[in-house]
Structure 1
Amino acid sequence: MILGISSICYEWWPVILVTCIAARLLHNKYGRGLHRYPGPWLAAYMTIWRFLENYGRRTEWTHINLHRRYGDVVRLDPNALSFADPKAIKVIYGLNKGMVKSHFYPVQQATAKGTRIQSLFSTLDEDFHAKYRRCLNSAFAMSSLVSYEPLVNSTLDVFLEKTEELYARTGTVCDFPKWLQYFAFDVIGDLTWSKRLGFMERNEDVDGIISFINGFFDYAGPIGQMPFLDLVFQKNPLILLAQRYGVSKKVFAVTKFAQSQSIHRAPEMEKIKANGLAPGTPKDGIDLLTKFTQAQHDHPEIMSDTTVLASSVSMVFAGSETTAIALSAIFYHLMKYPSAYQKLMAELDGAVRTGLIEDRGNGTVSWAEAQKLPYLDAVIQESFRLHPAAGLTLERVVPAHGMDILGEHIPGGTIVGCNAWVLHRRPEIFGKDVDNFRPERWLEASPKQLSEMKATMFQFGAGARTCIGKNISLLEIYKLVPSFLRRFEMELQSPEQTWKTHNAWFVRQMNFMTRFKTRQVKRDDAFTQSHVR
């Protein structure tokens, strides 16, 4: 009988193979109960659809167009749904909902000596995340911002002077997104280790760190759509074993830099780890490595040397990339919309004339001063709305018992999530002109409408997994933008020029070439409130 079955299998294997494949595809489409949700036809049958689509590097626009065509719930693969209604945010990302991150996130874990480094961002263990985050919350609290301002000022001063030296005086065209990346990386170096990485001084990608991170996200975006591939290409157990025993010396460029800084500061950190910060230590200017090590002293059961290293590495990976993208979006939109640019300059100059902003010699603006400028805030919020850094769905996995989302019962194990690019273009929330840059919408909105707009903004995520470095990013943005605009006039190399965007998980901008001219502000200029209305 066994020989008979073998003979049948040998003779009919093509039919059996096709039958098995067909059964698998039909199970993918119908077996999970998600067939009632519309989406690209191939997505219902095969995960390969979103893997290949992501390689097109325009996923944010694909998701926007899919939701405009199909409605608030779109199927992105046999086991994944995207939600466009802002009401879904509280359900999917709210506290105590039982949701966990999908396996998209561990793809982005760095490695050191063959060991994965779990970060706040990449860990799937919610209990570990909660304990880990509690250790670091004070370092990232809004109340800590003032203590970091001297470190940001240090880098900001250099950035303004190097912009003057390299571009404004010479008339040289600047690759503005790259230059802003250099600023963002050096700020993170100053904030984390009290040492800039050297991007601005050298005007180059130090040790290829930016190229490495760009390549890393180019990999993580599509591979994260089919995470098992990461176990083949990067986190293969054999590769990690070789690293652990020194056969392979490969170390992430960012991890290598963080390790070198840790070694350089080791004696100082060992004292803090053992005894904590000395009583009476001034709060201003204390870097994040010091605060991470203080957390290790306070919570040794959670914070290890590896966890401190992971926290430092995460600052470079996520903190610099997202801030650079936000800054690029703000400056680009100002140059593309001259009326908004003029209104913002009128507000800044008026604030200097009336003493709201101190007239410092280098043109810098403090965090406290920037908070008093409503049109600046509107410009920044509108840029966040039109170009959030993350361009993919922030994935969560529905708990085993299933969950109701917007009146739909979603089976357990289903991957669900929202994309900020989709949420930020809801006409019933932001108005019919959602694809236009119009900062005035933030000033004209009624209190109720403004509350809805703010609740829909998703550029930093939501819930317990909201970006912990959000406040530091805001500190950098609200200081650099007005300081740079006070110091320099800017214009695109060509008025018709349009940037190129590249969705590698974070949607970075490329090739909007810019010219700068040193700006002289005359304090006796006439200003009226009509300029900023």
Structure 2
Amino acid sequence: MLLNEVLPILARYWPLVLVSSVLAFLLNNKYWKGLNKYPGHWLAGYTNWWRFWDVWGREHEWTILRLHREHGDVVRLGPNVLSFADPRAIKVIYGLNKGMVKSDFYPVQNAVSKGRRLQSLFSSTDEDYHSKYRRCVNNAFAMSSLVNYEPLVSSTLGVFLDETQKQYADSGKICSFSNWLQFFAFDVIGDLTWSKRLGFVEEHRDVDGIIAFLNKFLSYAGPVGQMPILDLFLEKNPIRMWAQRIGLSKSTFPVTVFAQKRSNERAGEIQKIKQYGLPENVSNPRGVDMLSKFAQAAHDHPEFMTDTQVLTSCVSMVFAGSETTAISLSSVFYFLLKHPRVYAKLMKELDDAVADGKIESRSDKSVSWAESQKLPYLDAVVQESFRIHPAPGNAHERIVPPQGMDILGNFVPGGTIVGCNAWVMHRRPEIFGADVDTYRPERWIEATPAQQKEMRGTMFQFGAGARTCIGKNVSLLEIYKLVPSFLRRFEIELDRPDREWKTHNAWFVRQSEFYTRFRPREASV
């Protein structure tokens, strides 16, 4: 038989066969689909291990920015991966009805409960599932719902300001501001989701180790998402998942347990909403929380919005709702402190607004959402912070439909992974000016209406298209309330003005070693 003849040859020459097979695999990767015409790191065309290790290095955002500045608007990141830097690509790749779907990078970030994946709006790659899910919960995240959520945010904001006064301003203690802001973001999510602060601020600790878990999980998901097959050998190993389903293993994501506990505390109330709907014409001064809205969605769409989807929605609030907002808040304050001229200019706007009656002079110095929208320089400061340090540090990956498509004059074969990176998009000189690496909020004031539209259309920190972050409005509500309120209440200074913070790209680019001191701002209006 042929097999009997081949096996001795393979046994004798196996080193040569192995080397030849590896070389054939690498060369196939390099020249497959004709993507070899696109420049990039020399290893990227041969193997995805290059981008795995680069993301593992925690500075991937700077690598991509450097590659695009060296090689142009299209850069190859892997055997089947292209990164686009031209802002016009956003509408092509993320626009409606383009046939693009999310890559396998996203399911790596699925939470797990009892051995089953929880497909969230963020992590699902099924566009039909996503559109049905989004229709169910869209109302909960609409801009019109902000009026319902503001009392909940204000509740946590008041406690946060008071605890800052007691723990840091009165004592003169040094504050790890990025951690403290993350505590605030988590407690806001607790109030918004369950009408209950979770204790991060009041207890000054990481409740149930959730922040530590999220940091560890995102640090895993970032690099492993570059080679998603690894996830099937690690966190979502089929044998491990099967053991959980039949009860041999009790391992469940701590975030899932955390969300389930909070939701179980109101099981009776939520069951009534799912059965009868939210009562109409009942005044609630604290606003209607997210869990109630998700339960209402289950009442309105019982065929789709099951208990699993309600739980998944709560888990997503913890996963995504805290991390990105905390990163953005840290960015706003850090760049203000690094640029005293900007800090002073913003304080003048706030004080003038109080004197002019645009901001009500409250005893706790808080600022409402509506008042914050009357402050153009505040908006410029926030937008410039988003621009210089967007929360996501990796590309938002999409898969080209089977028939292939033209992306700005480049025909890209079907099945190719393509994407844009916010750190690249936000530093395009033709959009934002020649000084794109400089923090300068005035660019948002000086821009003409046409330039403003183009600049805002290029901002990519919340993604774009149908898969834009659904919690965008909630995050903006937190940021535009906390920043002016905190600045009116406290004077802030860096503990070591000469020291730079450290960043860690774990898919989201979080910050550390951001140490500050606070003093009560007694002289404020």
The residue that corresponds to 2:192 in the other structure is 191
SS at match of 2:33: coil
1:341-360 equivalences under 5 Å are 341-360=343-362
- Once the two structures are superposed, the pairs formed by residues 310-389 of structure 1 within 5 Å of their partners are 310-389=312-391
Name the structure 1 match of 2:101. 100
The question of whether the paired residues in 1 share the 8 Å contact of 2:77 and 2:83 is answered with yes
Partner of 2:60: 59
The letter for the 2-side match of 1:376 is L
Q: How many residues align?
A: 523
> Conserved in 1, the CA contact under 8 Å of 2:94 and 2:464?
yes
1:177 is displaced (CA, Å) by 0.1
Supply the AA of the counterpart residue of 1:106: P
- C-alpha change, 1:3 and 1:246, in structure 2 (3 Å) is closer
Q: Distance in 1 between matches of 2:221 and 2:241?
A: 18
1:489 and 2:495 correspond: no
In structure 2, C-alpha distance between the alignment counterparts of 1:418 and 1:406, rounded to whole Å: 13
Task: Say which is worse superposed, 278-287 or 211-220, in terms of deviation.
Answer: 278-287
The one-character-per-residue Cα deviations of 1:371-393 (angstroms, maximum 9, x if unpaired) are 00000000000000001000000
> CA separation in 1, counterparts of 2:524 and 2:307?
53
1:4 CA drift (Å) = 2.7
Q: Does 1:507 pair with 2:519? A: no
Q: Distance in 2 between matches of 1:8 and 1:246?
A: 48
Contact kept? 1:64, 1:421, Cα under 8 Å: yes
Among 443, 446, 457, the residue aligned to 1:444 = 446
Q: Could you tell me which residue of structure 2 aligns to residue 128 of structure 1? A: 129
1:529 matched residue in structure 2 = none
Residue 37 (structure 2) aligns with: 36
Asked if the contact 1:197–1:206 (Cα under 8 Å) also holds between the matched residues in 2, the reply is: yes
- Residue 13 (str. 1) matches residue 14 (str. 2): yes
- In the TM superposition, 1:112-511 aligns within 5 A as 112-282=113-283, 285-511=287-513
Secondary structure of 1:35's counterpart equals helix
Shift of 1:522: 4.8
Match of 1:526 in 2: none
**Conserved 8 A contact 1:486-1:521:** no
Q: How high is the TM-score relative to the length of structure 1?
A: 0.97
Where does structure 1 differ by over 3 angstroms across 4 or more consecutive aligned residues?
none
Q: 8 Å contact 2:156–2:188 — kept in the other structure?
A: yes
1:160-194 Cα deviation digits (max 9, x unpaired): 00000000000000000000000000000000000
Indicate conservation of the 8 Å contact 2:488/2:524, yes or no: no
Structure 1 residue 521: Cα displacement: 3.2
Supply the distance in 2 between the matched residues of 1:48 and 1:291 (Cα, whole angstroms). Answer: 43
- Using structure 2 for the length normalisation, give the TM-score: 0.99
Check the 8 A contact 1:186/1:198 in 2, yes or no. Answer: yes
Q: Could you tell me which amino acid in structure 1 is paired with residue 375 of structure 2?
A: L
Q: Deviations over 1:431-469 (max 9, x none)?
A: 111011100000001121111101100010000000000
Does the aligned pair in 2 maintain the 1:205–1:211 contact within 8 Å?
yes
Q: 1:60: how far off?
A: 0.4
> 1:8, 1:207 → 2: CA distance?
59
Deviation string 1:5-56 (CA, Å, 9 cap, x unpaired) is 2221111111111111111111100022100000001000001000011111
2:271 aligned counterpart, secondary structure: helix
1:531 maps to none
Counterpart-to-counterpart distance in 2, 1:421 and 1:117: 29
Separation in structure 1 between the aligned mates of residue 80 and residue 440 of structure 2, nearest angstrom: 37
Shift of 1:277: 1.1
Deviations 1:329-355 (A, max 9, x none): 000000000000000000000111111
1:349–1:521 Cα contact (<8 Å) kept: no
Cα drift, residue 283 of structure 1: 6.1
1:391-426 residue CA offsets vs partner (Å, 9 max, x unmatched): 000000000000100100000000000000000000
Once the two structures are overlaid, the 10-residue window that deviates more, 18-27 or 404-413, is 18-27
Q: Is the 8 A contact 1:26 1:45 kept in 2?
A: yes
5+ residue gaps, structure 1: 524-533
5+ long unaligned stretches in structure 2: none
Alpha carbons 2:32, 2:79 under 8 Å: kept: no
